[in-house]
Structure 1
Amino acid sequence: MPEFYRNVIYKNLRILHLILLLVFCSLSAQKAIPLDTLKLKEAKDMLADDYGSLYIYKNKDFSFTKYDSLGKQIGKMMFTVPFKVQGVQNPLSVPLFSENAQELKYVDQNMNEIQRVDFKQKFGFIKMAYAEDLQQLWLLDESTKRLIQYNFRNETTINSYPFDASFDDLTDLLVYENKIYILTRKQIRVYTFKFEKIFEAAIENGKRFRRENETILVITNNSVLKYVPEKEMVKIFGDPEAQIVDKNTLSYFEIKANKLYLYDLEKNEEAKLQTEPDQPDLKQKVTEQDVEQSAEKPAQPDSPEGKLEKKTQEIEDENSAESSLQKLIEDSSEIQSVGV
């Protein structure tokens, strides 16, 4: 068989191999976590820390429950008013804010309260609070339209900035590197401390921010978005059928049909790398020879070579596993009979 035809057949076999590899890797990246579906039913939110522990918040009874990676309950809190969980990246000190109670709590790894900050006596009406660390808070005071930097350890106001933005439908607040990030269910907005808007983008069902070093992420109902500074929001994970999604350092999590699934980030990266395997020397030489020949004498559209190249391109564009080796050989034989 001429080298040209062998090269075409090799290309299509490689495409078929990559398709099967992608399917296998995508399936192997997903893993079901054995958590009782009754525990996931009616969950309003879910968070995962870097130790694999899961936190389920239910708005029905205002309960906040922590489970280990095997589904065993570690601790549980019951509230009388709704609370918003900021994040669980530090499981030793998890901040929870209640707009109704006008207070912020910290709980430890066993869900025991270790700190409470009451805003009622010192401020007007706090719409949202962001715990920067274990002593400083950023507070959006709706009554005075100000952003306040507050040290709750010594009960002192460090800074106060005029902030006459809309507080409607606010879901989260984040302050980082002299930038103020405001999240609503429909938008993300980024401001300077001079109240200058430097970025705005539409978002569906925005829930909360997550910061990983210098990267700012937005968690929505069924996706994880990455903020490209002052440019755009990029979806890095999503499932339209998911009820709730979250992310830790190593994995994505989702609740779908009251079942919990994990997507390993490392396996996803391996899948991407495996889709670009090294080329054998023979294939590389044949390809370079074809390029040189094509540069000297392009194939005419009506010539047998042109028809074969067109047919090959159609097969590659379809990118389908149904393109078999036998079909390609039959097409090659048909063109040969025309005049090759």
Structure 2
Amino acid sequence: MKLFILILGFAFCSLSAQKALPLDTLKLKEAGDMLADDYGNLYIYKNKDFSFTKYDSLGKQIGKMMLTVPYKVQTVQNPLSVPLFSENAQELKFVDQNLNEIQRIDFKQKFAFIKMAYAEDLQQIWLLDESSKRLIQYNFRNDTTINSYPFDASFDDLMDLLVFENKVYILTRKHFRVYSLKFEKLFEVPLENGKRFRRENEFILVITNNSILKYIPEKELVKIFEDPDAQIVDKNTLSYFEIKANNLYLYSLEKSKEPKLQTDPEQKPTEKPSDQPKEQSDDATGQTVEKVEEQPKEQSADKPADDTLQKLIEETSEIQAVGI
């Protein structure tokens, strides 16, 4: 009976960790990418027709763009200003919460050939110029180049670019690399099916086809979410999202903390200060503790016997003295 209850408990936990969202499978079919903002809105990009569509958490369409050439959606963390870069069109555009274009930046007039662009904020863009092999920090508000750094890296299989705290993060089809602005390689690790970066405060995340990894600076990449059967995965600050078998699922971030703690070397489970040391001391010195506990018992048992014998000797001596 207890085993049956335990199995039901595990089944309940697994079901409660996963929640199917009411988005039509036809809307998810042939999706090339999916992103989720912190309001629970979903953005679907389709490679087939270059469409970019936004839905709310109930599956209602909020906006849609029909693009003429391929674009790469950088991030939707600020839904009021979503950046999209096109290598074909050599331009970066920003769209608002309804996917209406609010600004377009044309690179053809000022630069040779931009392979990748990263919008740091609403003023500055980092550009990888393939022709000049340079990393350019560009202020598009006043049309000025702030800095330019030699960057002689391979641009053939480049997937994404991110610049944060004087470090350049490069994602290719086969590797994840970190450089300084002086083009010094700080970290490199093989990585399959990398798609894009996501920055959450000081943490850098790497999104692949079916997993999400967290970068431990100059040490390793740690998987914080993975589903081998997923087609596309993403996350916001509260949940993980995945498309699997043309269905959309949400996983609460709270449910995923336990496996994350087991794989993340920087985070360790909290231990109870009162119980755990006691268990460790009993396990480590069990035999010694037992002997220490037994020894006082033997002493306490022998002492009353010695006192009784001494009293009998004294009483015998007194009787002999009296002459009985």
- Normalised to the residue count of structure 2, the TM-score between the two structures is 0.80
Q: Distance in 1 between matches of 2:260 and 2:225?
A: 15
The separation in 1 between residues aligned to 2:283 and 2:190, in whole angstroms, is: 48
User: Could you tell me which residue of structure 2 aligns to residue 228 of structure 1?
Assistant: 216
Question: Quick one: distance in 2 between partners of 1:41 and 1:185?
Answer: 24
- Distance (Å, rounded) in 2 between the aligned partners of 1:285 and 1:125: 66
Q: Which residue of 1 aligns with 2:204?
A: 216
The secondary structure found in structure 2 opposite 1:268 is helix
Q: Relative to structure 2, which stretch is displaced further, 20-29 or 221-230?
A: 20-29
Which residue number in structure 2 is paired with residue 73 of structure 1? 61
Q: Output the CA distance in 1 between the equivalents of 2:217 and 2:86.
A: 30
**Matching residue's letter, 1:226:** K
Distance 1:153 1:37, change over 3 A: same
8 Å CA contact retained: 1:25, 1:268: no
Task: Find the counterpart in structure 2 of residue 86 from structure 1.
Answer: 74
Indicate the structure (1 or 2) with the bigger Cα radius of gyration. 2
Q: Distance in 2 between matches of 1:106 and 1:286?
A: 59
Q: Which amino acid aligns with 1:166?
A: S
TM-score, structure 1 length as denominator?
Answer: 0.76
Aligned counterpart, 2:32: 44
How far apart, CA to CA, are the structure 2 residues paired with 1:294 and 1:24? 42
Aligned pairs for 1:273-312 within 5 A: 294-295=287-288
Change (3 A) 1:258 1:153: same
Structure 2 residue 130 is the aligned partner of structure 1 residue 146: no
Amino acid at match of 1:96: L
Q: Are 1:53 and 2:44 counterparts? A: no
**Residue from 137, 146, 155 that aligns with 1:158:** 146
Q: CA deviation at 1:110?
A: 0.4
Decide whether the 8 Å contact of 1:26 with 1:268 is kept in 2: no
Q: Distance in 1 between matches of 2:126 and 2:215?
A: 21
Superposition deviation, residue 84 in structure 1: 0.1
Structure 1 residue 63, shift from structure 2 partner: 0.1
Any idea what SS the aligned residue of 2:169 has?
Answer: strand
Q: Corresponding residue for 2:95? A: 107
CA distance in 2, matches of 1:136, 1:229: 24
Cα distance, 1:124 vs structure 2: 0.3
In structure 2, what is the Cα distance between the partners aligned to 1:175 and 1:79?
27
- Percent same amino acid at aligned positions? 79
Partner amino acid, structure 2, of 1:248: N
Partner of 2:123: 135
Contact 1:22 1:271 in 2 (8 A): no
Q: 1:121-166, CA deviations, whole angstroms, 9 ceiling, x for partnerless residues?
A: 1000000000000010000000000000000111110000000000
Which position in structure 1 is the counterpart of 2:296?
none
Q: Secondary structure at the match of 1:82?
A: coil
Deviations 1:168-196 (A, max 9, x none): 11010000000000001111110001110
Equivalent residues of 2:224, 2:259 under 8 A apart: no
1:48, 1:246 within 8 Å by CA — same for their partners in 2?
A: yes
Contact 2:224–2:260, Cα closer than 8 Å, also in 1: no
Whether 2:183 is the aligned partner of 1:191: answer no
Structure 1 counterpart of 2:126, one-letter code: W
Report the 3-state secondary structure (helix = DSSP H, G, I; strand = E; otherwise coil) of the residue aligned with 2:97: coil
Residue 78 (structure 2) pairs with residue 120 (structure 1): no
Letter in 2 for 1:58: K
1:16 and 1:203, CA in 2 relative to 1: closer, same or farther beyond 3 A?
Answer: farther
TM-superposed deviation, 1:268: 3.3
The secondary structure found in structure 1 opposite 2:102 is strand
Could you give the per-residue CA deviations for residues 57-101 of structure 1, whole angstroms, max 9, x where no partner exists?
000000000000000000000001000000000000000000000
Distance change >3 Å, CA 135–CA 272, structure 1 → 2: closer
1:206 aligns with 2:194: yes
Going from structure 1 to structure 2, the CA distance change for 1:78 and 1:16 (only over 3 Å counts) comes to same
Rounded to whole Å, the distance in 1 between the matches of 2:7 and 2:217 is 34
How many angstroms does 1:272 deviate by?
8.9
Instruction: Indicate conservation of the 8 Å contact 2:282/2:289, yes or no.
Output: no
> Cα deviations across residues 264-289 of structure 1 (Å, max 9, x unaligned)?
0123348999x9998x99xx999987
Q: 1:297 to 1:138 in 2, by over 3 A?
A: same
Consecutive unaligned residues of structure 1, counting only runs of 5 or more, are 1-12, 299-340
CA distance in 2: counterparts of 1:64 and 1:179, whole angstroms? 31
